[in-house]
Structure 1
Amino acid sequence: MTSISDTVSSTQNELERLVGDLRSLLSSKDLDSIPQIKQLRQRLDDGIESVRDTTVRAAQEAANQAREAARAADRYAHDEPWRVATAAVAVGALVGFLLARR
Structure 2
Amino acid sequence: MGRGIAQWAASAGHTVELGDVRPEAVKEAMDFVASMLDRAVAKGRTTAADRDAAVARLLPLAEPWAAGPDVELVIEAVREDLETKAEVFGRLERALPASAVFAT
TM-score over 0.5 for the pair: no
The two structures have a TM-score, normalised by structure 2, of: 0.31
More strand by share: 2
**Higher helix fraction: Structure 1 or Structure 2?**
1
